[in-house]
Amino acid sequence: MTRKIDFDIDLHHLARVEGHGNIHISVRDGRLAEATWAVVETPRFFEAIVKGMSAERVPFLTSRICGICSISHFLTSIRALERAMEIEPPEDARLIRLLAMHGETLQSHALHLFFLAAPDFLDAPSVLPIMQSHPDIVRAGLLLKELGNEISITTTGRATHPVSLVLGGISKAPSKEQLLRLQSMIAERLPALEEASEFFGTLSMPDFVRETEFISLRNGSTYPSIGGQLVSTDGVVREEDEYLQMTNEYLVEFSTSKFTKLSRQSSAAGALARFNNNFDLLHPRAKAAAAAFGLEPACHNPFMNNIAQLVECHHIMEDAAMLVDRLLDADLRDIRTPYKPKAGKATGAVEAPRGILYHHLETDEAGKVVKADCIIPTTQNNANIHHDLHALVEQALQEGRTEQEAEKLCVMLVRSYDPCISCSVH
């Protein structure tokens, strides 16, 4: 039933998301007149300021694109530069980097699920009142977030903005004691993850489906993290260096963050995209967790990105434990390959917590960066969020929902994408 109502929803600087974004919805005569997702973040021009900098220093700068996924940015620049200058990092350094990615993603997913998303489902303005009303749940979330940070500290020297990742490998390996500590922390915190999953099982995700194209990395042998082919649920397969054909960035009038598209008017990246493209490569426990939520590939409900993040936490716990065991067996002596700077160009693609992240870097003979291009996961979700808002409000009107209900659904939708807005503008 469609009622003849008029309303405007204007949400300026949306709360509980990273960065500054606005939602504007306008309904006239019971019909949707306009729905926009506008990013109003101030640009920082990273692609321009990185020029002229030595390759060695570049990751320290690009990591500052994002405070939540700094390890991903650091490693994406490193991957681009190592490919450009043909540097092969030693195997043990590769393992440590993979573990570092797990730490960051666990921290980021826990932050999103408990601090940013959960309050909507419990009608709270923030996690603070939930600390009183559901102390055990918040405690479980904090235990997972702390574990994520601890993994990052052990592998990179710091939770935010890594210090010991370097071109050619890593500058310092974790000690046996640190790795043993991680080993027991992971085992001890599995019950916290079970508790978290049980809690999210009691929440109901809004029923909304809009078919889209999901893009992620895929390597065919492990759940994606650093490098691989670029694939989509519409059957597109490309190589890392062909990233431009995968993203097709364009400018829109109302946003300082660009939009992207591939086979359709929009596409999506992130946990749900990785899940949809790589379900077969998840650890059995993560598959079981997905089954418990009724989550199957390909799922086109964007609200289920929350659940896909939780499923990934299960995978991370298992895979991180395996990596720690392998590192405990390794001697961790060969951790850094020396290199000579040289001219080259290459793309690095990494699955950051919020989706596929590309840095394309070109160096001159002295190893100085002469050209840079960064495409951020949230940028690749902007168009999808924008078109989802349209479809979601239309559905809400069809269902005869009130303005307040429609508004709540809109903000929950945007938060489900876990947008990282300052990162997307960079």
Partner 1 sequence: MNHLGFELTRVLIGSFDFTCCEGCQLQLANKEATLPEFLALVDIRNFREISSERLDDYDIALVEGSITRSDEIERLKAIRARAKVLVAFGTCACFGGVNSLKNRIPQEELVREVYDGKVIETMPSMRIGDIVQVDLSIPGCPVSKDEVERIMVGLVTRSAATLPKYPVCVECKQQLNTCLFDLGEICLGPITRAGCDAVCPTGKTACLGCRGPAEDINYPSFVQLVKDKELSAADMREKLSLYNGFGGYLDQEN
Residues forming contacts to ligand SF4 in the complex (CB under 6 A) are 64, 67
CA 19 vs. chain centroid, Å, equals: 14
Q: Toward partner 1, which CB reaches closer, 74 or 275?
A: 74
Check residue 28 for interaction with partner 1 (CB under 8 A): no
Q: Which stretch binds partner 1 (CB under 8 A): 113-121, 312-320, 323-331, 340-348?
A: 113-121
Q: Which does 156 bind (CB under 5 to 8 A by kind): partner 1, ligand SF4, none?
A: partner 1
Check residue 154 for interaction with partner 1 (CB under 8 A): no
Shortest distance (Å) from residue 398 CB to partner 1: 27
Among 89, 119, 344, 377, binds partner 1 (CB under 8 A): 119
Q: Which two structure tokens, joined as six digits, stand for 335? A: 């951790």
Check residue 156 for interaction with partner 1 (CB under 8 A): yes
Kind and range of the H or E run holding 25: strand 21-28
Check residue 422 for interaction with partner 1 (CB under 8 A): yes
- Omega before 290 within 30 of 0, i.e. cis: no
Check residue 232 for interaction with partner 1 (CB under 8 A): no
Q: Which does 273 bind (CB under 5 to 8 A by kind): ligand SF4, partner 1, none?
A: none
SS3 assignment, position 166: strand
Q: Which does 363 bind (CB under 5 to 8 A by kind): partner 1, ligand SF4, none?
A: none
Check residue 158 for interaction with partner 1 (CB under 8 A): yes
User: Residue 19 corresponds to which amino acid?
Assistant: G
Which of 377, 346, 376, 375 is closest to 361 using CA atoms? 346
Shortest distance (Å) from residue 66 CB to ligand SF4: 8
Question: Which residues, in sequence order, are CB contacts of 340 under 8 Å at separation 6+?
Answer: none
Q: Which residues of 15-38 are buried (b: 16+ CB within 10 A; e: fewer)?
A: ebbbbbbbbbbbbeeeebeebbbb
Q: Toward partner 1, which CB reaches closer, 56 or 318?
A: 56
Check residue 112 for interaction with partner 1 (CB under 8 A): no
Angle between the N-to-C axes of helices 271-278 and 305-329, in degrees from 0 to 180, rounded to the nearest 10:
70
Q: Which stretch binds partner 1 (CB under 8 A): 12-20, 317-325, 356-364, 383-391?
A: 12-20
Shortest distance (Å) from residue 200 CB to partner 1: 19
255 DSSP assignment: -
Which of 64, 14, 74, 142 is closest to 426 using CA atoms? 64
**Residues 53-92 contacting partner 1, CB under 8 A:** 53-54, 57, 60-61, 64-68, 70
Give CA–CA dist 331/130, Å, rounded.
45
Shortest distance (Å) from residue 311 CB to partner 1: 22
Give CA–CA dist 162/99, Å, rounded.
13
Check residue 106 for interaction with partner 1 (CB under 8 A): no
Give CA–CA dist 391/266, Å, rounded.
13
Q: Which does 178 bind (CB under 5 to 8 A by kind): partner 1, ligand SF4, none?
A: none
Angle between the N-to-C axes of helices 135-156 and 70-84, in degrees from 0 to 180, rounded to the nearest 10:
30
Check residue 291 for interaction with partner 1 (CB under 8 A): no
18 DSSP assignment: B
Applying CB under 8 A, the residues found at the interface with partner 1 are: 13, 15-19, 42-45, 47-49, 53-54, 57, 60-61, 64-68, 70, 111, 115-116, 119, 125-128, 131, 142-143, 145-146, 149, 156-161, 163-164, 166, 171-172, 251, 256, 422-423
